[in-house]
Structure 1
Amino acid sequence: MTDTWYGEPEPQHQKLTTAGYLRAIARAIPLIVLVFGGLVILLLVRLIERPLNGARRPVTPFITQFVCRNAFVLLGITFKSIGQPMSGPGAVVANHASWLDIFALNARKRIYFVSKSEVAGWPGIGWLARATGTVFIKRDRRDVGAQIAVFRERLAAGHKLLFFPEGTSTDGLQVLPFKPTLFAAFFDPQLRENLQIQPVTVQYHAPDGEDARFYGWWGDMAFGPHLLTTLAARKQGAVTVIYHAPVRVADYADRKQLAKAMEAKVRSGLAEHRSA
């Protein structure tokens, strides 16, 4: 059984013109330099940082944040954030709509993604994920014990762990039911009393005249064509990241109640911002 969300058929974009390809190239070259140049610097700094600080990363997250923030500048996509990211270690949960989420959620605050184990083997994306400290887990209740051990270690190191509880990406116009499985680890006795979770809503605004789902990447959509279409856009749109107030895990009876509360908050942010 797959968790992949398909929804309605993907939007049909106009065939790229010569001008579109030229725009894509003009944006792609500096973006590649930024991303992979930043990766090289990060790996070099990590050679010194890791022996001195172990799991703690006092320097390299700033490199990731710099890359992600400036990626939107090079793409021409307007980035905006509302609200205040929480301070201190904890968990962050957000809706998932696009590969652009990686840049959007890292641009304002330094976080570490929690991703399914399969992502580690993806060419390009997997390498970047491992280098930036992504936590890879298996989506299986039998592995909850191992997940708790990893979460304890990373939270003790001061990390903010980011989860996509929908379990898949959507077209960006909706929020799917949050799966309570991942929330089970937060109710571990050593985590529950002191752990805070912050719900975050990511809202994409399509370029003028384009389908509202322009930036959404879901179902069986191939990464390459979607990236090319994004790079070739004559005018770009915007992305807004909304930080809601964090909550204490101890204030909720169980994982299902917590999952529903976080889902409602993220969904309300999407609905309110779309209507505005």
Structure 2
Amino acid sequence: MSPTWDNGEVPAYPPITGLGGVRVLVRGLALVGVIFGGLIVLLLVRLIERPLNGLHRPVTPYITQGVCRASLFILGLRHHIRGTPMTGRGAIVANHSSWLDILSLNAAKRIYFVSKSEVAQWPGIGWLARATGTVFIERNRSHARSQTALFQQRLLAGHKLLFFPEGTSTDGQRVLGFKSTLFEAFVTPDLRDKICVQPVSVIYANPAGTDARFYGWWGDMDLGPHLLQMLARRQHGSVTVQYHAPLKVSDFDNRKALALACEQAVRAGHQAVSGQG
């Protein structure tokens, strides 16, 4: 299991009082309605979609994308997309700053996340993740072969699998080194000539007058208090999702070279927008 990144400090968030509390209530109820209402619709559609289309999901990813766009609108977090999402087969890799990445990346493109197996057991979140087609993995070599086969199946079916190669979230002010382990599935003979990997930079701009790390969620920070701060804020900043040129897997000799090229593209994009590397 990857260690959690932690610099030993967290932003000093203001206490939630008055109108902030009202915003928490109003936005919170709206988010619950949108997320769980969307989940109900998704599950009903999936009852028809699954027997007709099997592994393919021609409809339900649009529901997930709509829910995430609506959630960002409710929060008041402005969402910008730069570059062009690839249309061919392949995977997406991005830097990881916060649970907000799930909304930001899903809102930009119909994707399926790859997540550690523990998330499947988290109350509420695990249920949502399973319903939306998340691929759960165990960072254990004994499962490497079966997980590689699962990745191949999903990628060849046209699913855009999204990985966070840093292996942990950060404060949003940096891009950590990419771990190359999960790239192994891409360079296998069954995939290397058939897919691309598209690097994506996710950059948050904090609200005026707040800590630059306002949107970061890392280390031992609890989800509840961080979520309340997002709900209570009167005016939010923005998130930019920057798509870089897809990289042909066949152009690289091994997984480490591919992982490094993706890391360099993501770091350059992050630095160009935020000024931080």
Scaled by the length of structure 2, the TM-score of the pair is 0.97
Q: State the secondary structure of the residue aligned to 2:200.
A: strand
CA positional deviation for 1:218:
0.4
Q: State the secondary structure of the residue aligned to 1:191.
A: coil
Letter in 1 for 2:224: G
**How far apart are the structure 2 equivalents of 1:184 and 1:18?**
52
Match of 2:50 in 1: 50
Match of 1:94 in 2: 94
Match of 2:223 in 1: 223
**How far apart are the structure 1 equivalents of 2:256 and 2:85?**
24
Q: State the secondary structure of the residue aligned to 1:190.
A: coil
Asked if 1:159 corresponds to 2:152, the answer is: no
**How far apart are the structure 2 equivalents of 1:215 and 1:154?**
31
Match of 1:179 in 2: 179
CA positional deviation for 1:275:
3.1
**How far apart are the structure 2 equivalents of 1:141 and 1:209?**
46
Match of 1:129 in 2: 129
**How far apart are the structure 2 equivalents of 1:235 and 1:117?**
35
Letter in 1 for 2:158: G
**How far apart are the structure 2 equivalents of 1:256 and 1:142?**
21
Where does structure 1 differ by over 3 angstroms across 4 or more consecutive aligned residues? none
**How far apart are the structure 2 equivalents of 1:39 and 1:132?**
9
Letter in 1 for 2:249: V
Q: State the secondary structure of the residue aligned to 2:265.
A: helix
Letter in 2 for 1:164: F
| Number of matched pairs | 276
Contact 1:88–1:160, Cα closer than 8 Å, also in 2:
no
Match of 1:67 in 2: 67
Contact 1:166–1:177, Cα closer than 8 Å, also in 2:
yes
Match of 1:14 in 2: 14
Contact 1:4–1:219, Cα closer than 8 Å, also in 2:
yes
**How far apart are the structure 1 equivalents of 2:23 and 2:64?**
25
Q: State the secondary structure of the residue aligned to 1:88.
A: coil
Contact 1:144–1:184, Cα closer than 8 Å, also in 2:
no
CA positional deviation for 1:85:
0.2
Match of 1:192 in 2: 192
**How far apart are the structure 2 equivalents of 1:126 and 1:67?**
17
Asked if 1:202 corresponds to 2:199, the answer is: no
Letter in 2 for 1:213: R
Contact 1:79–1:240, Cα closer than 8 Å, also in 2:
yes
**How far apart are the structure 2 equivalents of 1:152 and 1:270?**
29
**How far apart are the structure 1 equivalents of 2:211 and 2:220?**
18
Bigger Cα displacement from structure 2, 197-206 vs 133-142: 133-142
Bigger Cα displacement from structure 2, 6-15 vs 264-273: 6-15
CA positional deviation for 1:26:
1.4
Contact 2:2–2:167, Cα closer than 8 Å, also in 1:
no
CA positional deviation for 1:2:
4.9
**How far apart are the structure 1 equivalents of 2:107 and 2:134?**
16
**How far apart are the structure 1 equivalents of 2:10 and 2:175?**
17
Q: State the secondary structure of the residue aligned to 1:211.
A: coil
**How far apart are the structure 2 equivalents of 1:74 and 1:37?**
15
Scaled by the length of structure 1, the TM-score of the pair is 0.98
Asked if 1:80 corresponds to 2:80, the answer is: yes
Q: State the secondary structure of the residue aligned to 2:176.
A: coil
**How far apart are the structure 2 equivalents of 1:155 and 1:262?**
18
Q: Deviations over 1:11-30 (max 9, x none)?
A: 01111112211111111111
CA positional deviation for 1:8:
4.0
Q: Deviations over 1:47-85 (max 9, x none)?
A: 000000001000000000101111111111100010000
Match of 2:38 in 1: 38
Contact 2:152–2:185, Cα closer than 8 Å, also in 1:
no
Match of 1:268 in 2: 268
Letter in 2 for 1:136: F
Match of 1:234 in 2: 234
Q: State the secondary structure of the residue aligned to 1:202.
A: strand
Contact 2:88–2:195, Cα closer than 8 Å, also in 1:
no
Letter in 1 for 2:6: Y
**How far apart are the structure 2 equivalents of 1:162 and 1:139?**
16
Contact 2:86–2:246, Cα closer than 8 Å, also in 1:
yes
Structure 2 gap ranges (5+): none
Q: State the secondary structure of the residue aligned to 1:176.
A: coil
